[in-house]
Amino acid sequence: MATRHFLTLLDLSPEELHYLIQRAITIKNRLRAQGPTYAPFTNRTLAMIFEKSSTRTRVSFETAMAQFGGHALFLSARDTQLGRGEPIGDTARVLSEMVDIVMIRTFSHAGLETFAAASGVPVINALTDDYHPCQLLADVMTWTELRGSVRGRTAVWIGDGNNMCHSWINAARQFDFQLHICCPEGYEPRQDIMDAAGDRIVLLRDPSEAVVDADLVTTDVWASMGQEEEQAKREADFADFQVTETMLDRAKSDVLFLHCLPAHRGEEISETLLDDPRAVVWQEAGNRLHAQKALIEFLLLGRVDH
């Protein structure tokens, strides 16, 4: 099988993504019923390259490999020759001779694409400045677990048109749901990504109107990693875009709230929103483990029927 990479949700077909969601649910249910008895990755190694800090990404990938019988190597820029200027492609070629799969959490999406182009083993995007597709696997998995098929439903993104928003746009295309994007002027997602989604998305400015009849509402921090110097300006620009319990009351009665975490209580969400039963962020975070197990399994072994 030719080497497959997962750099954005568009690297897999809609049918393959549907398979991954269902496979992740199966893996999760099996783990709960039987414990970590399924070990398809014996003697397999995942290299994890981190240029951005992480909690959920590192723990979920490392645990996934351990529970599946494999091993994960944590590599930061200061621990490798990347930190001393080795070309990205050279590092990719070296790792391809030693490991079975690579996960990268970095800044430049173009750099990730360069790495993948030189790699002889699958490469997974664990976050770049442009996309966060692994988070969307967990998000759609959570939505599906709790509400069934997401096709034809309506999700609302409130906040910055950032890497998470870009991946939600791609998810709307691939999973066939509608996405309302609500952000302040000047903080829109990339135009080319919106254009490619066509009528799957609608750009709005008033959060209280955007959430009406929504099946799901989601947001992210106002200042992502690398934007800390913009914090004060962003707090002012996003002041009317805080997601609150009252805002969720305007959505459907069975609306769900997601957040990729970490959350800044009192900023993009109210102080108490994560205590609301409509907020399913802990299940969402836990599903990173199961969705990524399904992804790694697919990239290394292809489809599995059991």
Residue tagged 């609306």 (tokens):
255
Q: What is the pLDDT of residues 91-135, one digit of tens each?
A: 999 999 999 999 999 999 999 999 999 999 999 999 999 999 999
Whether 225 has a pLDDT exceeding 70, the answer reads no
DSSP secondary structure letter of residue 6: B
The active-site residue, picked from 5, 18, 134, 135, is: 135
Q: What is the pLDDT of residues 270-292, one digit of tens each?
A: 999 999 999 999 999 999 999 99
Whether 144 has a pLDDT exceeding 70, the answer reads yes
The active-site residue, picked from 165, 182, 260, 290, is: 260
Whether 76 has a pLDDT exceeding 90, the answer reads no
Whether 224 has a pLDDT exceeding 90, the answer reads no
Specify whether 240 is catalytic. Answer: no
Specify whether 234 is catalytic. Answer: no
Specify whether 220 is catalytic. Answer: yes
pLDDT category of residue 226 using cuts at 50, 70 and 90: low
| Residue 220 CA: distances (Å) to CA of 65, 241, 299 | 28, 11, 28
The active-site residue, picked from 23, 105, 180, 259, is: 105
Specify whether 183 is catalytic. Answer: no
Mean pLDDT of 218-242: 86
Residue tagged 């992740």 (tokens):
24
Cα–Cα dist 217/242, whole Å? 12
